[in-house]
């Protein structure tokens, strides 16, 4: 935002979203999504210009600088349109509706999302980023606005008819699901694994080419598949992917955590924004890789991610912030990149040689800054090109990293998107809880416990028994979304299984019951993304695509399966079965679209192993038993104790001495009386 724009203040100044606040001094007369904008559009008979983005979106910043800070563009928008800004992370339900429409209109989507709507909110045209002038077969943004305005004034009937036809097409597509006769069985898992194998990058790991996204649900499924069916090649593919990502520039070698994606196939040059949901899922993936392989390097990546989150993405009261921007001081990657000349001034000659040898530093650099008007030359994205071969090299490289971290702390940091989202917090809650269970580090349990307390205090309404989506600066919103319930359910279950504290289990039951009541569709199966009282959506949708995050439906099924295995509540089974059948067409024909759905299907096919720990107490007495229970890689398991809201059979398994039972349904093996015995027994199941 330029200093000159501070003379303007629009309605977004009263919002909580960091993204909307970024635009609060644009000369554009922005409205937030809501009744005031819709009423004005109807009263003045004007089309709506809808712009959707998020706070750490690089191209959103570019379009703001080029167009929304432009006085001529703002004047035209203010005169001819009603302009609405939406934060896609605050309102993913609004974004999903109009992203679906724009993909149907333009054949692709992305952010910033640009859509034009009739006053009754039906879309008739749209796209993504538009440059200020005609370029690369795209009209300049002001040119586009003039074209839309002319069509609205001269061919209104055509636009209205187009909007009605698109609306009809989209609503029919939502209702009419393809049917499949495919059985929900292991065959679907085998076929999916074969599809992923075809797309695997044998050299760099990952799936597909550039740009390359981690999509942690894909390797997570393959890892579990490899363990279930003794497919060592599947496990090897996941290990290669994890190792290449951890060595690449997508992994912040100095400060920890992972960026959103790499622009190349080698995981080298990232798009530098860091998202909470990516890092939560990657921490879970590397934890399972550590369980499956026993390789300490995978555990170190988990510690690295969680150290970054604790340091840079944690609210003082325990919530987790959403993201950090790619840009600082108007330039993408400036916070993260280095020149060799700069390093020469910070490091000893021996350390500089270590940076060149291990971190790929060169005089010419490997990252091209495209910012105008003065791009930064010779920038290096650091990656681990050559691992240290001995302790001396490791010590030298650690000294280099420590000096660079200290120097980087003096730079202007990227924007912190400090809103707290229930959904993404649920994912990171689970990561910290499981890291405690697998790695045995007590502070991780403390972080997870504080986070769950934060969610219950700030985002859970005990009267309505509902989760809000967003909290920021003491205020929670009124938005209710499936992802919040599904992801928090999974996180609470992870914390319960990591500690056997009955309180997270009791809360998980509350969340699950509210989720079923508000979002489940008992007629067709599946869960709606938003509740029945969601304001001003032209239609509700069900998400069946596991993209950067798991779809709410995939997560809801896995959460209910795990909760049913712990509590024995048969009431969860109809929603599980119906939703899996609703997902079946995608699972059978497009498994690449639903890798987390495959994880849920995998869990559903056989009764899980139930590890019951009884007669042990808590604290230091319980810790070695929990470590033993979590150490072996047995993905289809749950861990519980006879206390709390567990199933009636488990409540009968009280013991007068520390005991573990391995059960399937109401059948249990002989009692186990030591953590070592338990570890040995579980190793035989892995």
Domain shared by 627 and 508, yes or no: no
Domain shared by 322 and 349, yes or no: no
Read off the CATH number of the domain in which 31 is found: 3.40.30.10
338 vs 255: CA distance, rounded Å = 14
Domain shared by 494 and 569, yes or no: yes
Domain shared by 462 and 353, yes or no: no
Lowest mean pLDDT among 159-168, 241-250, 258-267, 452-461: 159-168
> Going by C-beta distance under 8 Å and a sequence separation of 6 or more, which residues neighbour residue 345?
none
> Going by C-beta distance under 8 Å and a sequence separation of 6 or more, which residues neighbour residue 457?
none
Radius of gyration of the chain (CA): 26
The answer to whether 88 and 111 have CB atoms below 8 angstroms apart is yes
- The predicted model gives 107-116 an average pLDDT of 93
Q: Find which of 163-167, 239-243, 325-329, 375-379 is predicted with most confidence, using mean pLDDT.
A: 239-243
Any domain includes 193: yes
- The predicted model gives 431-445 an average pLDDT of 97
More confident residue, 136 or 1: 136
DSSP assignment, residue 414? Answer: P
Q: How far is CA 70 from CA 21, 26, 67, 73, in A?
A: 17, 8, 5, 5
pLDDT of 247 strictly over 80: yes
- The predicted model gives 341-346 an average pLDDT of 97
pLDDT at position 2 is 41
CA 588 to centroid of chain Cα atoms? 24
Any domain includes 106: yes
pLDDT of 433 strictly over 60: yes
pLDDT of 99 strictly over 90: yes
631 vs 684: CA distance, rounded Å = 12
pLDDT at position 9 is 93
The answer to whether 488 and 426 have CB atoms below 8 angstroms apart is yes
- Supply the range of the domain harboring residue 668: 609-685
225 vs 188: CA distance, rounded Å = 11
Domain shared by 560 and 666, yes or no: no
Any domain includes 24: yes
pLDDT of 405 strictly over 50: yes
CA 495 to centroid of chain Cα atoms? 19
pLDDT of 5 strictly over 60: no
- The predicted model gives 269-292 an average pLDDT of 97
pLDDT at position 58 is 87
Query: Which among 410, 439, 463 is the end of a domain?
Result: 410
pLDDT at position 456 is 98
Any domain includes 181: no
First and final C-alpha spacing in the chain: 55
Query: Which among 573, 604, 635 is the end of a domain?
Result: 604
Give the strand pairing for 82-87 and 48-53. Answer: parallel
Domain shared by 28 and 123, yes or no: yes
Domain shared by 440 and 570, yes or no: yes
pLDDT at position 307 is 98
The pTM (predicted TM-score) of the whole model is 0.94
Cis before 373? omega within 30? yes
- The predicted model gives 228-249 an average pLDDT of 97
pLDDT of 4 strictly over 80: no
Domain shared by 583 and 454, yes or no: yes
Domain shared by 229 and 363, yes or no: no
pLDDT of 534 strictly over 80: no
Q: What's the pLDDT tens digit per position in 129-177?
A: 999 998 878 899 999 999 999 999 999 999 999 999 998 888 887 776 6
Counting the structural domains of the chain, the total is 4
Question: Which residue do the tokens 């187009």 mark?
Answer: 162
- The predicted model gives 262-275 an average pLDDT of 96
pLDDT at position 170 is 86
Q: In the chain, what percentage of residues exceed pLDDT 70? A: 98
- The predicted model gives 578-589 an average pLDDT of 95
Query: Which among 143, 175, 207 is the end of a domain?
Result: 175
Any domain includes 180: no
Kindly indicate the confidence band of residue 183, based on its pLDDT and cuts at 50, 70 and 90: confident
Q: Which two tokens stand for residue 467?
A: 């989760």
pLDDT of 110 strictly over 60: yes
Q: Which two tokens stand for residue 639?
A: 């861990």
Kindly indicate the confidence band of residue 276, based on its pLDDT and cuts at 50, 70 and 90: very high
Any domain includes 300: yes
Domain shared by 530 and 485, yes or no: yes
Tell me the CB-side half-sphere exposure of residue 387, using CA atoms within 13 A.
Answer: 8
pLDDT at position 3 is 37
pLDDT of 367 strictly over 50: yes
Domain shared by 8 and 144, yes or no: yes
Any domain includes 282: yes
Domain shared by 539 and 445, yes or no: yes
């Amino acid at each position: 935002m330029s200093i000159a724009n501070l003379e303007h203040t629009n309605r977004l100044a009263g919002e909580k979203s960091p993204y909307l606040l970024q635009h609060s001094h644009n000369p554009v007369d922005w409205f937030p999504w809501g009744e005031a904008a819709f009423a004005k559009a109807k009263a003045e008979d004007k089309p709506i210009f809808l712009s959707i983005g998020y706070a750490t979106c690089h191209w959103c910043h570019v379009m703001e600088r080029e167009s929304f800070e432009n006085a001529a563009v703002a004047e035209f928008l203010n005169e001819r349109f009603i302009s609405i800004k939406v934060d896609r992370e605050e309102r993913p339900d609004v974004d999903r509706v109009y992203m679906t429409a724009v993909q149907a209109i333009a054949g692709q989507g992305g952010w910033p999302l640009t859509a034009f709507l009739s006053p009754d909110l039906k879309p008739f045209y749209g796209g993504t980023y538009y440059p200020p002038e005609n370029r690369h077969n795209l009209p300049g943004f002001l040119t586009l606005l003039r074209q839309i305005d002319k069509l609205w004034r001269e061919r209104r009937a055509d636009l209205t008819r187009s909007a009605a036809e698109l609306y009809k097409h989209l609503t029919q597509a939502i209702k009419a699901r393809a049917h499949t006769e495919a059985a929900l069985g292991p065959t679907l898992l085998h076929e999916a694994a074969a599809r992923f194998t075809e797309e695997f990058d044998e050299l760099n790991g990952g799936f597909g080419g550039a740009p390359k996204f981690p999509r942690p649900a894909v390797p997570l499924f393959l890892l579990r598949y490899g363990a279930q069916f003794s497919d060592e090649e599947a496990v090897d593919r996941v290990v290669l992917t994890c190792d290449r990502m951890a060595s690449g520039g997508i992994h912040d070698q100095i400060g920890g955590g992972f960026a959103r994606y790499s622009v190349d196939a080698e995981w080298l040059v990232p798009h530098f924004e860091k998202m909470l949901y990516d890092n939560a899922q990657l921490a879970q993936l590397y934890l399972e890789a550590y369980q499956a392989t026993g390789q300490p390097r995978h555990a170190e990546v988990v510690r690295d991610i969680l150290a970054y989150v604790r340091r840079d993405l944690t609210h003082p009261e325990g919530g987790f912030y959403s993201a950090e921007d790619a840009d600082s001081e108007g330039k993408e990657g400036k916070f993260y990149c280095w020149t060799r000349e700069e390093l020469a001034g910070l490091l000893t000659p021996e350390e500089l040689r270590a940076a060149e040898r291990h971190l790929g530093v060169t005089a010419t650099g490997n990252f091209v800054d495209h910012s105008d008007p003065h791009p930064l030359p010779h920038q290096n994205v650091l990656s681990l090109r050559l691992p240290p071969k001995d302790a001396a090299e490791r010590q030298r490289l650690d000294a280099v990293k420590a000096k660079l971290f200290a120097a980087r702390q003096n730079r202007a940091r990227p924007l912190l998107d400090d809103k707290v989202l229930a959904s993404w917090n649920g994912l990171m809650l689970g990561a910290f809880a499981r890291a405690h269970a697998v790695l045995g580090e007590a502070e991780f349990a403390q972080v997870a416990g504080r986070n769950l307390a934060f969610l219950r205090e700030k985002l859970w309404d005990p009267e309505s028994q509902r989760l809000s989506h967003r909290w920021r600066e003491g205020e929670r919103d009124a938005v209710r979304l499936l992802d919040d319930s599904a992801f928090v359910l999974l996180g609470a279950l992870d914390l319960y299984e990591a500690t056997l504290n009955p309180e997270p289990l009791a809360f998980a039951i509350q969340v699950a019951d509210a989720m079923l009541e508000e979002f489940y569709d008992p007629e067709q199966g599946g869960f709606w993304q938003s509740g029945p009282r969601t304001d001003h959506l032209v239609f509700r949708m069900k998400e069946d695509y596991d993209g950067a995050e798991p779809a709410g439906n995939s997560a809801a099924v896995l959460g209910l399966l795990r909760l049913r295995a712990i509590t024995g509540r048969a009431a969860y089974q109809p929603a599980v079965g119906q939703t899996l059948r609703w997902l079946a067409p995608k699972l059978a024909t497009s498994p690449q679209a639903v890798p987390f759905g495959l994880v849920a299907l995998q869990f559903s096919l056989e009764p899980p192993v139930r590890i019951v720990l009884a007669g042990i107490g808590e604290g230091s007495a319980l810790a070695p038993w929990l470590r033993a229970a979590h150490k072996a890689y047995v993905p289809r398991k749950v861990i519980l104790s006879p206390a709390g809201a567990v199933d009636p059979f488990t409540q009968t398994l009280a013991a007068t001495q520390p005991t573990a039972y391995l059960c399937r349904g109401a059948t249990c093996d002989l009692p186990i009386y030591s953590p070592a015995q338990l570890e040995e027994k579980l190793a035989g199941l892995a």
